[in-house]
Amino acid sequence: MARRRQAVTIKHVAADAGVSLQTVSRVINNEPNVRPEMKERVQASIDRLGYVPSIAAQRMSGSRSYLILALNDREKTVAEWRSRSGTDWVDQMLLGGMLTCAEHGYRMMVELVDTHNDHVERELSATIAALQPDGVILTPPHSENRLITDLLASKNIPFARIGSLEPGPGIRLTMDDDHSAVMATERLIELGHKRIGLIAGPKDYSLSGWRIDGWMRAMQAAGFNTDGLCARGDFGFDSGIAAARTLLSQKDRPTAIIASNDQMALATLDVARELDLAVPDKLSLISFDNTPIVRFTNPPLTAVDQPIAATISHAVELLINKSRKAIPADPINIQGVLVERASTAPAPKANGG
């Protein structure tokens, strides 16, 4: 294949405009110290020649790479893609991330990294050496992986930690899971439910704990007991089956359940059917995530929408600006909303179905 070289370079523009390379460079980078008329002349040449700076060359000479890297857990992501589970986490990341990047002349690139791998550091170092991103977005469980955060910090690369409140370097953003759990719980209480169960997520996700906290606080504020009403899952369907069975096979079983993600809510739906518990008449169900599939289940699920796109978009903005401005020290919380569908209803009158 013929060697492809830049068609029109800064040299051509400089020659065309009759100025030095440096002046052109200044115009490209919107730097001060260029007379308006100069700037205009250069810009005209740029437009006429259709010049676009080579990112490779810019990166080479120590400037920005205009690249934001979004790191996702390889195993989990690939498994979800393969099973076509309907999780649109990556799509929402792209929606928020790509578009916001584009507004600033940046690009977003998705990378998959194994968290549970002793090579994380080597793997990530290699990616960074090869790509030289200007910023990195860490999603759970990477957000709290010290190996990763320390590496990034030591290399002086700005990064955002989604879904983490742990102190340490990096910009912290959450989707306010605590508040979301409170919101879901309070809505159920409003509907007259007293025994509200929670299927929590795995412990290695901080947000699992925050959701428990929110649920528990709302329950206690209403004066309700929470004993035996919290079961753990791992965000997988099978774990949801087990957790739902645990909760629903009790004598004084819950009349409502909040599942920490859609897959576990789906599982709960199956268990309810198995136990002949009509949803929502006998059992109300609220899910987290609000992925596309929950509109098609039977009944469609009431769910807490996770503002993934908005959160990633915000992270990108901060990362890009960070080179210029200060780092926000406090975590940023982006709140989700509760989308009501047909899986929630007033609590059944008697509990002895």
Residue 141 engages DNA in binding (rule: CB under 7 A): no
Cα torsion angle, 338, 342, 346, 352, sign? negative
Residue 32 engages DNA in binding (rule: CB under 7 A): yes
Q: Which structure tokens are listed for 69? A: 């890297």
> What kind and span of H or E run contains 283?
none
Give the C-alpha separation, 218 to 282, whole Å. 22
Residue 48 engages DNA in binding (rule: CB under 7 A): no
**Of the two residues 13 and 345, which places its CB atom closer to DNA in the complex?**
13
Q: What is the DSSP string of 164-207?
A: ---SSSSEEEE--HHHHHHHHHHHHHHTT---EEEEE--TTSHH
Q: What is the DSSP string of 258-273?
A: EESSHHHHHHHHHHHH
Candidate list 44, 57, 78, 79; residue touching DNA; CB under 7 A: 57
Question: Taking CB within 5 to 8 Å according to partner kind, which of a second copy, DNA, none is near residue 298?
Answer: a second copy
Candidate list 40, 54, 79, 323; residue touching DNA; CB under 7 A: 54
The alpha carbon of 246 is separated from its chain's Cα centroid by a whole number of angstroms, namely: 30
Candidate list 1, 3, 154, 330; residue touching DNA; CB under 7 A: 3
Q: How many residues does the chain have?
A: 353
Give the footprint of a second copy on this chain (CB under 8 A): 1-8, 50-57, 59-60, 62, 65-66, 78, 80-82, 84-86, 88, 90-92, 94-95, 98-99, 102, 107, 109-112, 122, 125-126, 129-132, 155-158, 290-293, 295-298, 309, 322-323
Question: Taking CB within 5 to 8 Å according to partner kind, which of a second copy, DNA, none is near residue 33?
Answer: DNA
Give the C-alpha separation, 237 to 233, whole Å. 9
Question: Taking CB within 5 to 8 Å according to partner kind, which of DNA, a second copy, none is near residue 250?
Answer: none
Interface contacts to DNA, rule CB under 7 A: 3, 5-6, 9-11, 19-26, 28-29, 32-35, 38-39, 51, 53-54, 57-58, 60-63
